[in-house]
Structure formats: C-alpha cells, structure tokens
C-alpha cells in the first residue's frame, strides 16, 4: 500500500493579518478546494481553533543580553469533532501528497484511506485536540512527556468544558498524542442529562485545563497554570449548522 506523507503542522503555520482572518469564509467552498493558507487558518486560528500563550520572564544568569528574556508557551486548542477541522486535516494530507495531481485510481485509494477521519462518529462526544509549542526546548520536552504520560484518571480533575447552560462538563476520556499529528485528545459528552453541551444562542464555550509548567524564574520549579480558551458559539456555524 502506498505510504503517504505525514503532516508537519509547523510547515503550514502562516502569519496572517487578523483583519483578513474571518473576512473571507472560505469554508463555504468544498474543502477539496482549500489552499494551504486556508487549511492553516482552519486548524490554527478559526472559529473552531484558538490559541493561548503563557509567558514566563527569565532573569539572572538565564537572561538575554537586555537583562530579560521570555519563554513563550503556546497552546492551540481545536474542536476536532467539528467537521471543518477534520476536513482541514484531510485536505492538508491531500496537499502534502499532491492529491490534485493523482490519477483517478490513486484518488480512490487515498479517499478510502482517509474517509474514517471524515466520517468519525461524534454523535455522542465532543473531541477537543490540544497542541503545544514553545521557544524553550526544555519546556517542549517536558510538555511532550506530560501529555504522553497523562491518563484519564490523572487529569480528570484538571480538564473541563465550560458550558453556558451546564457549567463545568467533566472529562470522559483522554488520549495522548499519536503519530497522526493531530495532538492530544480530550473527549467530553455531547449531552448531559439530555441537554446539549453547546446550544444555539449560547454566547461561548470554553476549554479549561490546569497544567504543570516549569517556572524558569523560580529556579526550575514546577508551577501549575490554568489554560482557559474561549470559542464564540455563533461563529461555529458550518454550512448552515452549528458544528462542534
């Protein structure tokens, strides 16, 4: 079977003017028509993908030439259960593997390989994906180890969806990052006591995760920080329907 190139999200990170970001709802077009910039927007800074950066100043012997340097820890949170996010991942794989230049038979083989991602059953679950990047290699290594070693029981008191109608929604299951390049996965119920976690008319939905970060300014001690990322529900509409 043909081996397909795996995604490298860093290669698709594009610095874009925020005024252009949502001015063009490119996702109204079929995802097979999205270009690399549009894919990057969808999985990095869209109604379904948001970022939060936690910074730590460095002083003393670890400081830069100006007497102070900052470590930037960037978290990207995505609603992986949202159809457009999964379509963006498939389109990214298409672009990496030159799908548009494939023969009809090659396209059939490719589509068969990736249809599971597109048709993922999310009727009873909300899947939130988390990725981490830092300008500090030690922080990258430590966070990779933390996410790889974490288990549902060890973080269930630290990770929540915060619903406008239901309050804190507890974690159902956690999956460490895998080789597919889509990040760690936090699985939440789509309904609680028959009520949806996200409903039309809600103002926002938030992902909360308390994480350990090494504080370089405190002699390398571990320091827990709260990640809190908010999504505007009225923007999470895809092809006329609320998608999450």
55-103 pLDDT, tens digit each: 776 655 554 444 446 778 899 999 999 999 999 999 999 999 999 999 9
End-to-end Cα distance, the chain? 33
What is the model's pTM? 0.83
Where is 105: in which H helix or E strand? helix 104-118
How far is the C-alpha of 127 from the C-alpha of 185, rounded, in Å? 6
Those residues whose C-beta lies under 8 Å from the C-beta of residue 201, and which sit 6 or more positions away, are 233
Pairwise CA distance, residues 94 & 86, whole Å: 12
**Given this model, what pLDDT does residue 76 score?**
96
Encoded tokens for 223: 């320091």
Is the pLDDT score of 222 beyond 80?
no
What is the Cα–Cα distance from 216 to 218, expressed in whole angstroms?
5
- H-helix or E-strand containing 97? none
Domain residue spans in the chain? 9-48+79-131+157-198+225-242
């Amino acid at each position: 079977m043909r081996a397909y190139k795996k995604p490298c999200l860093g290669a698709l990170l594009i610095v874009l003017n925020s005024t252009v970001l949502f001015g063009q709802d490119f996702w109204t077009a079929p995802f097979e028509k999205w270009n690399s910039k549009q894919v990057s927007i969808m999985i990095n800074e869209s109604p379904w993908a948001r970022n939060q950066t936690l910074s730590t100043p460095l002083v003393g012997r670890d400081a830069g030439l100006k007497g102070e340097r900052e470590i930037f820890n960037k978290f990207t949170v995505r609603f992986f259960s949202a159809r457009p996010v999964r379509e963006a991942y498939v389109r990214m794989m298409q672009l990496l593997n030159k799908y548009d230049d494939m023969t009809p038979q090659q396209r059939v083989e490719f589509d068969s390989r990736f249809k599971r991602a597109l048709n993922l059953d999310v009727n009873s679950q909300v899947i939130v994906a988390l990725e981490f990047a830092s300008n500090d290699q030690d922080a990258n290594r430590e966070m990779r180890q933390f996410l790889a070693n974490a288990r549902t029981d060890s973080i269930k008191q630290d990770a929540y969806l915060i619903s406008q109608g239901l309050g804190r929604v507890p974690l159902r299951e956690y999956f460490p990052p895998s080789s597919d390049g889509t990040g760690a996965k936090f699985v939440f119920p789509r309904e609680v006591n028959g009520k949806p976690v996200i409903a039309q008319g809600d103002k926002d939905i938030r992902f909360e995760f308390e994480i350990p970060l090494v504080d370089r300014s405190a002699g390398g001690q571990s320091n827990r920080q709260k990640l809190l990322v908010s999504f505007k529900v009225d923007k999470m509409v895809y092809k006329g329907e609320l998608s999450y």
